[in-house]
Amino acid sequence: MVTRTLPEDIGDWRILSDNLKPLLGELPYLSAQHAELDRAIEEALRLEAEQEVATARLREINAQRAAVQTRGQEIRRQIAYGLRGHFRATSVKLLEFGIKPLRGGKRSKKTRSPEPPPEPAP
């Protein structure tokens, strides 16, 4: 089943309303429904405009949130560098601030697999 959009319905409603209007003298029993349809068209158009404004505002808010998040991450990173410099990068004291200390100690060298001895000649 295909779902119609509100703008599509509004277009159909307008066609019906505009074409019915000249015939209301001949069809007076449809006057109440015609008036109700016109009110529905007006309300739908108002709601569509409100939605556009709300969508634009939502985009602005999301952009602001992203900017604040980026700024906060950069500030946190700068503070973390400062704390690592003060306490040393491997200090467990950094955990109090939610910062993972770097692993300390020597790194083990990669061990190479020994080369197989040459096969004796027959």
At 118 the pLDDT is 74
Instruction: Please report where in the chains the tokens 């770097």 appear, as a residue.
Output: 102
Give me the mean pLDDT over the 13-19 stretch.
97
Distance CA 72, CA 7 (A): 41
**Following DSSP, what letter does each residue of 7-62 receive, concatenated?**
HHHHHHHHHHHHHHGGGTTT-GGGHHHHHHHHHHHHHHHHHHHHHHHHHHHHHHHH
Does the structure show a pLDDT above 80 at 114?
A: no
Query: What average pLDDT does the chain have?
Result: 91
Strand (E) or helix (H) holding 17: helix 6-20
Q: What is the pTM of this model?
A: 0.61
Flag whether pLDDT at 91 surpasses 80.
yes
* Dist. CA 106–CA 101, nearest whole Å: 15
Section 47-63 average pLDDT: 98
Confidence of residue 116 (pLDDT cuts 50, 70, 90): confident
Q: Per mean pLDDT, which range of 43-47, 67-71, 89-93 is the poorest?
A: 89-93
| pLDDT of res. 105 | 63
